[in-house]
Amino acid sequence: MRVPSAGALFGLGGLPAQTQRGLVVAFSTSVASIMGVNLVYPVLPPMMQQLGVDTAAIGLVVTVYSVPMIFLSPLAGAVADLHGRRPLLFGGMLLFGLAGAGVGLAPSFEWVLLLRALQGVGASAIMPLTIVLLSDLLEEGQRESSAQGAKVVLDRVGMIVIPPVAGMLAMLSWGLAFYLFALAVPVAFLGLAWLPETRRAEHASLRAYLGSFSGIGRRPRLLVAFSAGFLRFFLDYGYFTYLPIYLAFARDISPATTGLLLGCFAVGAMVTASLVGRLARGRDPAHLVFLGFVLAGGSVLVIPVLPGAALVGVSLFVYGLGNGIISPLQKSLLTRNAPPDVRAGVVSLDRVVQQVAKSLAPGAMGALLLVADMTAIFWALGVLSLASVALAALLLGAWGRAREAVPS
């Protein structure tokens, strides 16, 4: 019996060798980028102890890494569109890997912050590429959706596997875990060798490039993609910031059990993400994104009334099912509906929108706690998800009817 290849499992079988090599670079870049924060979380406690850093300051290790992305991602998108993907990926991955590994040699906390900020600059360059490379390599709609789904699965596997490895290394010395970032360096060189050339034959001016963005507001599905990206991360960061606190104080659930429950979310996301290419066959991706938010919103709403930890795990699994639909198809909607000449710039703009959502959600939910108890967070996020789906569906339908009404 012939064993199906990994690509065939995701609907990516039979691709040319050059495309397969390009996908290896794209997927490796994606896993590296999400490890920029997730690898660091388990290292923070031993770093505090060994460098003598207090609790109030240790969060800067994440903050100084994230802030450059807000300001530099749009610039990275413009460079990728005007000058090609390969040089940007090479420089970004090289800086990301060397600065990240350099943190392990840092003699003081000030050096840690400086090197993390430089690593954030490198991450700013590669962040938009993790999505747009898949669109470059696979123009066909279903194949691209399958690749975006495979990306989500591999990212989730990385989130399950790499942080525990980093935690074990950090038990010996906090700096050892940061050496894992050096794995990004060979990926940088593979990108030069394996990615296709995307540099424009003609040199467009920056003014002409910026002018190409003028039509974005007239693309309703692109606006749906931006809105879905904002809502997804607003839900994730509001939900996952306060869910562990709620489970600990209101349900007396241990951190170890909470960790297992959060694993149910990752499993659910991998299930639907691995099937998303097949789910999207013959269907409107926007409608599937709406379905994902219905699953996510419903699973958040029921948290306060669930009687036991096992049912909380089921709810998180359902939340993951929704996330596994939303994440790849939101990216696919974004790349399919973006003008080709500004595709990387549009993806970079989406990244900025997502960073704003990540920054707003914890504070907004914290403000809600000033006037309500913690269960109000789950009610608010669930209602927000379901109401947003209803509004987006109505607006998309209205745009469609208006378009049909215009005489040809």
What are the residue ranges spanned by the domains of the chain? 16-198, 215-402
The b/e string for 141-160 (b: 16+ C-beta within 10 A; e otherwise) is ebbbbbbbbbbbbbbbebbe
Segment 370-378 mean pLDDT:
90
**Averaged pLDDT score across all residues of the chain:** 83
pLDDT of residue 375: 92
pLDDT of residue 239: 84
Question: Token digits for 393?
Answer: 């569906």
Q: Which of 91, 137, 112, 136 is nearest to 40 (CA)?
A: 112
pLDDT of residue 200: 57
Q: Which residue has the higher pLDDT, 5 or 259?
A: 259
- pTM over 0.75, yes/no: no
pLDDT of residue 340: 75
- pLDDT band, residue 408 (cuts 50/70/90): very low
* First CA to last CA distance, the chain: 55
Q: Which residues, other chains included, contact 401 with Cβ-Cβ below 8 Å and sequence gap of 6+?
A: none
Segment 141-157 mean pLDDT:
80
Segment 62-68 mean pLDDT:
82
Given its phi and psi angles, is residue 345 left (phi above 0), alpha (psi -120 to 50 degrees) or beta? alpha
Radius of gyration of the chain (CA): 21
Question: Token digits for 278?
Answer: 């097949």
- pLDDT band, residue 402 (cuts 50/70/90): low
The b/e string for 5-34 (b: 16+ C-beta within 10 A; e otherwise) is eebeebbbeebeeebebbbebbbbbbbbbb
Residues 349-363: tens digit of each pLDDT: 888 888 788 778 877
Task: Outline where DSSP puts E strands in 6-110.
Answer: none
How many residues can be counted in the chain? 408
Task: Outline where DSSP puts E strands in 89-183.
Answer: none
Are 266 and 316 a contacting pair, CB within 8 Å? no
Residues 178-219: tens digit of each pLDDT: 999 999 999 999 999 998 876 655 656 666 666 666 667 677
Question: Token digits for 366?
Answer: 């914290």
- pLDDT band, residue 1 (cuts 50/70/90): very low
- pLDDT band, residue 305 (cuts 50/70/90): very high
Residues 323-336: tens digit of each pLDDT: 999 988 888 888 88
Question: Token digits for 286?
Answer: 């926007």
Residue by residue, DSSP assigns 159-197 as HHHHHHHHHHHHHH-GGGGGGGGGGHHHHHHHHHHHSPP
DSSP code at position 5:
P
pLDDT of residue 2: 47
Q: Which of 72, 126, 74, 67 is nearest to 95 (CA)?
A: 126
> Measured between alpha carbons, how far is 128 from 73 in angstroms, rounded to an integer?
7
DSSP code at position 173:
-
> Measured between alpha carbons, how far is 371 from 212 in angstroms, rounded to an integer?
45
Q: Which of 92, 139, 148 is nearest to 276 (CA)?
A: 148
Question: Token digits for 225?
Answer: 């993609």
Segment 150-157 mean pLDDT:
85
Q: Residue 368 above 50 pLDDT?
A: yes
Are 22 and 137 a contacting pair, CB within 8 Å? yes
Q: Which residue has the higher pLDDT, 164 or 89?
A: 89
Q: Residue 391 above 90 pLDDT?
A: no
CATH topology classification for 16-198:
Growth Hormone; Chain: A; (1.20.1250)
- pLDDT band, residue 3 (cuts 50/70/90): very low
Which CATH superfamily hosts domain 215-402?
MFS general substrate transporter like domains (1.20.1250.20)
Assign 23 to helix, strand or coil.
Answer: helix
Share of the chain above pLDDT 70, in %: 87
